[in-house]
Amino acid sequence: METPTKLPPSSPSSPTTGFSVPSAEKVDGFPRRSMRRARQRRSHSSSQFRYQSSQVELTPLPLLKDAPVAELHDLFCKKLQQCCVLFDFLDCVADLKGKEIKRAALNELVESVATSRGVLIEPLYPEAIKMISVNIFRTLPPSENPDFDPEEDEPTLEASWPHLQLVYEFFLRFLESPDFQPSMAKRYVDQKFVLQLLELFDSEDPREREYLKTILHRVYGKLLGLRAYIRKQINNIFLRFIYETEHFNGVAELLEILGSIINGFALPLKSEHKQFLVRVLIPLHTAKSLSIFHAQLAYCVVQFMEKDATVTEYIIRGLLKYWPKTCTQKEVMFLGEIEEILDVIEPSQFIRVQEPLFKQIAACISSPHFQVAERALYFWNNEYILSLIEENCQVILPLVFGTLYRVSKEHWNQTIVSLIYNVLKTFMEMNSKLFDDLTASYKVEKQKELKRERERAELWRSLEEQQERRLQSLGEASRNQKNLQEREKNSKNEPENSAANAT
Amino acid sequence: ARLRAEVLNCPSMAGADGDDSLYPIAVLIDELRNEDVQLRLNSIKKLSTIALALGVERTRTELLPFLTDTIYDEDEVLLALAEQLGNFTMLVGGPEYVHCLLPPLESLATVEETVVRDKAVESLRKISHEHSPVDLEVHFEPLVKRLASGDWFTSRTSACGLFSVCYPRVSSTVKAEIRQHFRNLCSDDTPMVRRAAASKLGEFAKVLELEYVKSDIISLFTALASDEQDSVRLLAVEACVSIATLLPQEDLETLVMPTLRQAAEDKSWRVRYMVADKFSELQKAVGPEITKNDLVPAFQNLLKDCEAEVRAAAANKVKEFCENLPEDSRETIIMTHILPCVKELVSDTNQHVKSALASVIMGLSTILGKDNTIEHLLPLFLAQLKDECPEVRLNIISNLDCVNEVIGIRQLSQSLLPAIVELAEDAKWRVRLAIIEYMPLLAGQLGVEFFDEKLNSLCMAWLVDHVYAIREAATCNLTKLVEKFGAEWAQNTIVPKVLGMANDPNYLHRMTTLFCINALSEACGQEITTKHMLPVVLKMSNDQVANVRFNVAKSLQKIGPVLDSNCLQTEVKPVLEKLAADQDIDVKYFAQEAISVLALA
């Protein structure tokens, strides 16, 4: 009964006069993203400042490039210590002088470590790592937007980025310096350090995650003793993401690192690595936010297959297990990944998975969502896949024929119907005898299916009847038992009440 | 004698009687194995039917082994299975055989998917109570141990939830083993397991003997509370409540407080948030002395925390915290320590903090009494009533009744009115809706004169709001007002205005007249309905919009019971008959329905 008729604006008693309703809200009153975002909000956030003890006044030190060689290391060290002072960036006018001094010092440190040789001597390692730790390690602030959607919303940027970026830059140059000595660094870049580094990947600020990605990659490459630990902690982060929080901003970045790590795995694959594939990478496909890191994830999966073809079956069966039930967008992603996999699959492996796989593909073809059906039907445009299908036509055609036949007559979308005709034509050309047989037996098969359906219904009906009878007889039995007890009791006490109890 | 014979026959009927050969297990298992997940799921959901058909013995020897062996399925099927097995005790032959259910549930407790595992643990906890103490030691406890030393983290997390159900009912040697296993899991390598252990720490502490609480639990608690991961540390805060409740007062200071102090100052805002969120429970658990010395300063810090999330959580607890302060020093503590922080929160930069405060601040007036309320709280209420964020104002208005009891609402009315007027015209219809819902309350507290003077026009204006939900709520609001102020008031103030809308050029407004009449007729009574409302309704039967006409029919059906029979026959019936012959199909339908309901045919 509610119609979109507008009220006459002249209506004198209308409370709507005198103020204008934002047009977005005239449609309906539900809060929507755009409205929420319009709410006043900071775009910057930082948890860093709280732990600063009494503010120290910074005084500019002499420039590194002017320092005599004998004092260079001492000055470098002093600059590192100076850079341990933290500033409040949420208050953008606070202590501008100090901020500028620190920024200049950081710039100098970056420059010096990147260009001059012989700066990085052993006593500087603990000071450098301390400066890095003090600046980057912090509890990330709560998200401004509790249901932050990385695809839709603007990320909250780190307020102290002007300094933080230089610290990250320094760290990166430090790791990449030809003078860098892993044997010295490993005393300071230890497990605890790496754990904190990994937690920072949850940062909402993409610039920070980008730095972290490169840095972790370098650490993984240079500090061999930490490799197993890093992999284990990434595992833990992913498992927490999959099974506990469903929230972690740095999944894509971590997967990107893993993509290159997998490349370097030795053969035969260790069981640790296989376990990682089966129990972590495959379940990652269940995440709600799959679209954000699917490209990187699919890359990792394909890397595994190229490394060792025997994992193919685990992968395909795993994907089939987690196949999206309701989210068509994810279904299209899964189909994309399957195609990437089929592109590099070994024919012997294909035979092992073709049956469950093509049952799923048939199900996708009959999806009422045309993008899903279309994506599945595109497999027949892939020459390698087509050759695999042709070799195994005897198995595959019977699996998909019924669906193709039915959907060709039923689908609402003309593109799908014509794609299916093409596929049917291809099959006809591949094996016309089998095709004709299947066409002939289609109706009979349908009848058989219906019959099985009826039999099943009948089975359950009689099972339920039987249950009913049993429950009844059990009920009767307990009633009888009660009556009997009542009767015995009543016969001793008040016999005239027995009728009332016998209900 | 006949009865007795029937009773004696019963057990055989419940057990394996003749007709189970009708259903060879193969057929049923085929159903459980069906290719179609949906059909498998349906079969699993009717597992009890299958078990009943098989009888207890074959359920034990054939069905359960099959289920145990084939646990590799869709998580949805597994979830249904885990749930079913929790209610299976009678179907396997009662408590004596309940341990047969352990193998499949053990496998389910190790799967990856959290919901399945949790359900399996829930079912295991349920059936643990049906085990005899002997069976518990022979069958159940070994299962817990196997899970606790499983390879993959899933089985170890599941084990965490099972210690507390078996501990109280086993021998002291087994108890010692269980404690050892729990200790191991608290220092497990994977944070997932430590989180699971930390979340069960409080529950486990409750079933332990006091000496072990002091020796074992405290050290585990201290360790978990300083874990390297904040997600573990924050769970220790929850356990702190249970542990503090268990310990005698004199031990709290040395055993619990150092850890709690540290948590309140944790570098991670999540941990501090948890402390704020659990503050009332913590306060009750540690008692008045520690509250005075430790929790008051801690609470002040939380109210001033640098993260808005923490401040909001603490602000939410202000009233409860103050209420639970020891009576002898309550007022002093509030006035000197809490109120200054509260004053700052009133002008916080974050709207969630202000809104959390606004939802509880009015409750302070009952605690502080009339004079303090007028002197100290009233300015805060007034400030919040003028807040830029509608949610804050609404929260104040929705709690007006607390203040009313102490100082009366009139103290506020000068500021209240602009606030209400502004909310009444807020751009968000949900805000308007919320304020409408408080109108009857406000009307009752402010009295009829104030209402007529200031608020009546608002209530009438809502009737022509452009959002249907608001018009509907406004209609309902009128009914409540009439119930409060009486029929005479209605006749003088609102009925004329409502009836005036019947001539509005907008058909939606004309329909609103009808909706109001539907709602008001009963509260206004027969006289007003017959004299004033009915003529308008009848006249509207000639409306050119069909929607109005069929609503006339519906209105007549609705107000019919209020009218006398003479009037029904002479006035209502002819109009309904005319409408029943309308050219619009809906008008016809509703007219005929009204005729039959009012028995005018």
What's the pLDDT tens digit per position in B299-338?
999 999 988 899 999 999 999 999 889 888 888 899 899 9
Listed in sequence order, the DSSP H helices in B171-291 are 172-186, 191-207, 210-212, 218-225, 230-246, 249-255, 257-264, 269-277, 279-290
C-alpha–C-alpha distance, residues B84 and B497, integer Å = 61
Cα nearest neighbour of B427 on chain A: A21
- Cα angle at B270 between B117 and B310, to 5 degrees? 135
Cβ distance A393 to A354 under 8 Å?
Answer: no
Q: Do B429 and A7 touch (CB under 8 A)?
A: no
Residues near A179 by beta carbon (within 8 Å), at least 6 away in sequence = A117, A118, A119, A120
Is some CB atom of chain A closer than 8 A to the CB atom of B46?
A: yes
Whole-number Å distance between alpha carbons of B418 and B420:
5
DSSP A124-162: HHHHHHHHHHHHH--PPPPPSSTT--TTTSPPPEETTHH
- Residue A77, burial from CB neighbour count under 10 angstroms (0-12, 13-18, 19+): middle
CA distance A87 to A73: 25
- The encoded tokens of residue B71 equal 């646990």
User: For chain A, what are the domain ranges?
Assistant: 58-140+158-188
Residue B20 in contact with partner chain A when CB distance is under 8 A: no
Question: Per-residue pLDDT for B7 more than 60?
Answer: no
Name the DSSP class of A269.
Answer: P
pLDDT digits (tens, 9 = 90+) for B332-379: 899 899 999 999 999 888 889 999 999 999 888 888 888 888 888 888
Q: How do residues A14-61 score in pLDDT, each as one tens digit?
A: 333 333 333 333 333 333 333 333 333 444 565 544 544 456 677 778
Give the integer Cα–Cα distance in Å for B522 and B209.
Answer: 65
Q: Which of A202, A226, A207 is nearest to A216 (CA)?
A: A226
Backbone φ/ψ region at B408: left (φ over 0), alpha (ψ -120 to 50), beta: left
Q: Which of B6, B50, B307 lies nearest to residue A142, judging by beta carbons?
A: B307
pLDDT per position as a tens digit, B493-514: 888 888 988 889 999 999 999 9
Question: Which region holds residue B93: left if phi is over 0, alpha if psi is between -120 and 50, else beta?
Answer: left
CA A366/CA A374 separation, integer angstroms: 10
pLDDT at B221: 93
**Angstrom distance (rounded) from CA B364 to CA B412:** 16
In the three-class reduction of DSSP (H, G, I as helix; E, B as strand; rest coil), residue A167 is classed as helix
User: Is residue A52 a contact partner of residue A86, using CB atoms and an 8 Å limit?
Assistant: yes
CB B365 within 8 A of CB B407: yes
Cis amide leading into A356 (omega within 30): no
Question: Which tens digits make up the pLDDT trace of B545-576?
Answer: 999 999 999 999 999 888 888 888 988 999 99
Mean of the per-residue pLDDT values of chain B: 87
List, as ranges, residues 187-246 from A with C-beta within 8 Å of B: 192, 195, 236, 239-240, 243-244
Of B4, B23, B308, the CB nearest to A484: B4
The answer to whether A321 faces chain B, any CB pair under 8 Å, is yes
Give φ, ψ of A301 to 5 degrees.
-60, -45
Does residue A487 belong to the interface with chain B, where contact is any CB pair within 8 Å? yes
Rounded CA-CA distance B546/B589 in Å is: 12
A300 within 8 A of A258, measured Cβ to Cβ: yes
Distances (CA, A) of A21 to B373, B437, B461: 38, 22, 16
- Count, residues in chain A: 503
**Per-residue pLDDT for B412 more than 80?**
no
Q: What residues of chain A lie within 8 A of the CB of B22, using their CB? A: 462
Nearest to B192 among A7, A15, A240 (CB): A240
Question: Cβ of B269 and A464 within 8 Å?
Answer: no
Q: Do B267 and A139 touch (CB under 8 A)?
A: yes
CA–CA min distance B306, chain A (Å): 7
Nearest to B49 among A14, A50, A463 (CB): A463
**Helix (H) / strand (E) containing A45:** strand A44-45
Tell which phi-psi region holds residue B592, choosing left (phi > 0), alpha (psi between -120 and 50) or beta: alpha
Tell me, yes or no, if A18 comes closer than 8 A to chain B by beta carbon: yes
What is residue A97's predicted lDDT score, i.e. its pLDDT? 85
What's the CA angle centered on B256, arms B250 and B260, to 5 degrees? 135
Which among A15, A192, A474 has the least Cβ separation from residue B462? A15
Query: How many Å apart are CA A59 and CA A100, to the nearest integer?
Result: 11
H or E segment and range at residue B445: helix B429-446
For residue A157, list its beta bridge partners: A44
The overall longest dimension of chain B from CA atoms, in Å, is 91
Instruction: Give the helix ranges, DSSP H, for A366-431.
Output: 370-377, 383-391, 393-410, 414-430
Subunit contact B465:A15, Cβ cutoff 8 A? yes
Nearest to B345 by CA among B362, B369, B330, B361: B361
Q: What pLDDT sits at residue A491?
A: 58
Is the pLDDT reported for residue B186 higher than 90? yes
Q: Which of B48, B50, B190 to mutate to test the interface with A (most CBs of A within 10 A)?
A: B190
To the question of pTM greater than 0.90 for the whole model, the response is no
Whether this model's ipTM surpasses 0.85 comes out as no
Distance of CA B64 to the CA centre of its chain: 38
Q: Residue B142: pLDDT above 60?
A: yes
Calculate the dihedral angle through the C-alpha atoms of B270, B274, B276, B282, rounding to the nearest 10 degrees. -150
Q: What is the pLDDT along chain A (503 residues), one digit of tens a residue?
A: 433 333 333 333 333 333 333 333 333 333 333 333 333 344 456 554 454 445 667 777 878 777 777 788 888 888 898 898 888 887 777 788 888 888 999 998 998 888 888 788 888 899 999 999 999 998 888 877 767 777 777 888 888 899 999 999 999 999 999 889 999 899 999 999 999 999 999 999 999 999 999 999 999 999 999 999 999 999 999 999 999 888 899 999 999 999 999 988 988 899 999 999 999 999 999 999 999 999 999 999 999 999 999 999 999 999 999 999 889 999 999 999 999 999 999 999 999 999 999 999 999 999 999 999 999 999 999 999 999 999 999 999 999 998 999 999 888 989 999 999 999 999 989 888 888 888 888 888 888 989 988 888 888 888 788 777 777 776 676 677 667 666 666 655 544 444 444 43
Closest CA to B495 of B469, B465, B534: B534
Mutation to test the B interface, candidates A6, A7, A321, A359, most B Cβ within 10 Å: A7
Using the beta-carbon criterion (under 8 Å), do B152 and A279 form an inter-chain contact? yes
Residue in the block written with tokens 């050119």: B544
CB B402 within 8 A of CB B362: yes
Burial class (CB in 10 A: 0-12, 13-18, 19+), A494: exposed
Q: How many CB pairs under 8 A join A and B?
A: 138
Alpha-carbon gap, residue B373 to B367, rounded angstroms = 9
